[in-house]
Amino acid sequence: MAVSSCPRVSAAFECRSEPDFCGGPHRPEAFASGGRFSGKASSVPSHQIFGASALSSLIFRFPPNFVRQLSTKARRNCSNIGVAQVVAASWSADSAAAAAASASAAAAASVEASVEVSVVESSGSDVQYEDLADEKASFLGFDGTLTIHAGERLGRGIVTDAITTPVVNTSAYFFKKTAELIDFKEKRRASFEYGRYGNPTTVVLEEKISALEGAESTVIMASGMCASTVMLLALVPPGGHMVTTTDCYRRTRIFIETFLPKLGVEVTVIDPADTEALKSALDKNNVTLFFTESPTNPFLRCVDIELVSELCHRKGALVCIDSTFATPLNQKTLSLGADLVLHSATKYIAGHNDVIAGCISGSEKLVSTIRNLHHVLGGVLNPNAAYLIIRGMKTLHLRVQQQNSTALRMAKILEAHPKVKCVYYPGLPSHPEHHIAKRQMTGFGGVVSFEVDGDLTTTIKFVDALKIPYIAPSFGGCESIVDQPAIMSYWDLNQSERAKYGIQDNLVRFSFGVEDFEDLKADILQALESI
């Protein structure tokens, strides 16, 4: 039996008449003063108002604090008019009225000055509870202490039948006794201990991503860059050697080229399709890790994951693929042979341009190594953000299907347009790695990069003429986004420096959202016609 103690309150509650299903007389005159009951004297005696027949014809509208003062179980059973009658009657100044109401209630309950409501749990209850202490919190003597500990310190209900995943906002987890803490330290008891080491909400997200990737384990972090940097620091030792590719996210390149050398790490940079260069680097150096994107940013180059994994594993090197552009739906990176797969979950996985996160999936052994360093460095994902990603992932397959379709259709239209010089999209036969993408991907993604036939100013005019997409960084969300990499990501470099990375002034990266295809098509065509 769950017991909840409800202190006496003076707040008024509203009630309204309903048809009297028990045949009792209506008494609308009792509520002439706005339909509120305040416990004060009225023209109708309280015992008449709260008679058994009258109570059966009333539905009470309780004040906001009422639901907070009932136990979770009582709240679930507040449809039981007997409980409502007992509590309502206790607010009457007339103790006789309270007794009358109590007698008329179907549920067995006793009404005292403090109003204790006893609720019998049904055998079919689908809400589970931790053991609640039977004794009252006698040590909580003052309001200041009650506001902190009441309802929590002696245990609380754990809702297991909610459809959505609860958000657990806590920075630490307590142990009831020191023995429990010792059991945790000696790995006989599971707990998160501290928020930087994990959270029930983020664990749900990690397990969901692991299931999609076919991974033993996943670690979620505060951003894609956080995931990349922690992974590199955890797996490439000081004085080690790694291989990466020419085309990649610029911030990742900056970290690899400027920070890792401070640790004595040497880096070999190769073309994404140059397997001979990879073989040479593996033969000449003690390579620890091969890390690249597939497809890459912004030219959507594709790496033969199966082949590079085979080459690297022969030499004892690990393979990590950033599969953000592909998504777990378009490409099963781990099944192709990679040891780890990384995502900026900000993009397609979250999918709504409203949260920043990153994740790494792979074997329990490798992910644990990365997780341990993550626990030291921080970069923890807030549980509210984890909830947003969980919610976003429920439509991931629908969004990606739409984005795949729109991008492929528009890529074909753009390639045939006279005002477009070149289109970069792995779904086109003209793409240099189309044969690879076709073999290892089930869809080609929602991003299309292309070069407008014109200079920097002409390309700006095209971008500004677009009406649907936002001019912004990022990609993969429900809203279409367009950017000119020469300005958005490389504006701090001069034209010749940008050209070293293949970034021309007329390059456009278009991330298709889930808007209707015909609207997007019409918008892009009218923008091209404006230049």
pLDDT (tens digit, 9 = 90+) per residue, 162-218?
888 999 999 999 999 999 999 999 999 988 899 999 999 999 999 999 999 999 999
CA–CA distance, 117 with 89 (Å, rounded to integer): 12
498 touches 486 (CB < 8 A): yes
E strand or H helix at 351: none
CA–CA distance, 105 with 100 (Å, rounded to integer): 9
List the beta bridge partners of residue 129: 157
pLDDT at 7 over 60: no
pLDDT at 39 over 70: no
Per the annotation, the verdict on 347 as an active-site residue is yes
Per the annotation, the verdict on 399 as an active-site residue is no
- Superfamily of segment(s) 396-530: Aspartate Aminotransferase, domain 1 (3.90.1150.10)
308 touches 290 (CB < 8 A): yes
3-state secondary structure 449-494: EEEECCCHHHHHHHHHHCCCCEECCCCCCCCCEEECHHHHCCCCCC
CA–CA distance, 255 with 228 (Å, rounded to integer): 9
What is the pLDDT at residue 158?
A: 64
What is the pLDDT at residue 148?
A: 66
Whole-number Cα distances in Å, 245 to 303, 432, 447, 471: 9, 15, 20, 27
**Catalytic hit among 73, 301, 347, 509:** 347
Average pLDDT, the chain: 80
pLDDT at 324 over 50: yes
What is the pLDDT at residue 500?
A: 85
First-to-last alpha carbon distance for the chain, in angstroms, is: 75
If DSSP codes are grouped into helix, strand and coil, which group holds residue 299? coil
Which of 386, 351, 391, 326 lies closest to 480 in space, CA to CA?
351
Class of residue 112 by CB neighbours under 10 A (exposed 0-12, middle 13-18, buried 19+): exposed
CA–CA distance, 133 with 5 (Å, rounded to integer): 13
Which of 2, 354, 379 lies closest to 154 in space, CA to CA?
2
pLDDT in tens, 384-407: 999 999 999 999 999 999 999 999
Q: Residue 494 carries which side chain, given as an amino acid letter?
A: N
CA–CA distance, 489 with 493 (Å, rounded to integer): 9
Place of tokens 């006794």: 177
190 touches 168 (CB < 8 A): no
- Name the token pair of 150: 């009441």
Please report, for the chain, the start and end positions of each structural domain, with discontinuous segments joined by +: 143-394, 396-530
- % residues pLDDT > 70 (the chain): 72
What is the spatial order of strands in the sheet that 266-270 belongs to?
Answer: 217-221, 358-362, 340-343, 318-322, 287-293, 241-245, 266-270
Q: Residue 474 carries which side chain, given as an amino acid letter?
A: S
Per the annotation, the verdict on 249 as an active-site residue is yes
**Catalytic hit among 249, 387, 424, 490:** 249
Residue 529 DSSP label: H
List the beta bridge partners of residue 321: 292, 341
pTM, to two decimals = 0.73
List the beta bridge partners of residue 452: 420
Cβ neighbours around 114 below 10 Å, total: 10
**Catalytic hit among 208, 247, 301, 322:** 322
Place of tokens 């549920």: 107
Cβ neighbours around 529 below 10 Å, total: 11
What mean pLDDT comes out for the span 113-140? Answer: 43
Query: What does the longest C-alpha to C-alpha distance in the chain come to?
Result: 99
172 touches 195 (CB < 8 A): yes
What is the pLDDT at residue 154?
A: 65
What mean pLDDT comes out for the span 433-448? Answer: 97
Whole-number Cα distances in Å, 94 to 11, 23, 26, 53, 91: 16, 25, 21, 18, 9
358 touches 227 (CB < 8 A): yes
Confidence of residue 147 (pLDDT cuts 50, 70, 90): low
- Choosing among 3.40.640.10, 3.40.50.300, 3.30.70.1140, 3.40.140.10, the CATH entry for 143-394 is 3.40.640.10
CA atoms within 13 A on the CB side of 503: 25
What is the pLDDT at residue 157?
A: 65
CA–CA distance, 98 with 513 (Å, rounded to integer): 61
Peptide bond into 328 cis (omega under 30): no
Per the annotation, the verdict on 156 as an active-site residue is no
What is the pLDDT at residue 453?
A: 96
- Name the token pair of 368: 């644990």
CA–CA distance, 136 with 154 (Å, rounded to integer): 9
Q: Residue 346 carries which side chain, given as an amino acid letter?
A: T
E strand or H helix at 182: helix 178-185
Confidence of residue 122 (pLDDT cuts 50, 70, 90): very low
CA–CA distance, 498 with 477 (Å, rounded to integer): 27
357 touches 222 (CB < 8 A): yes
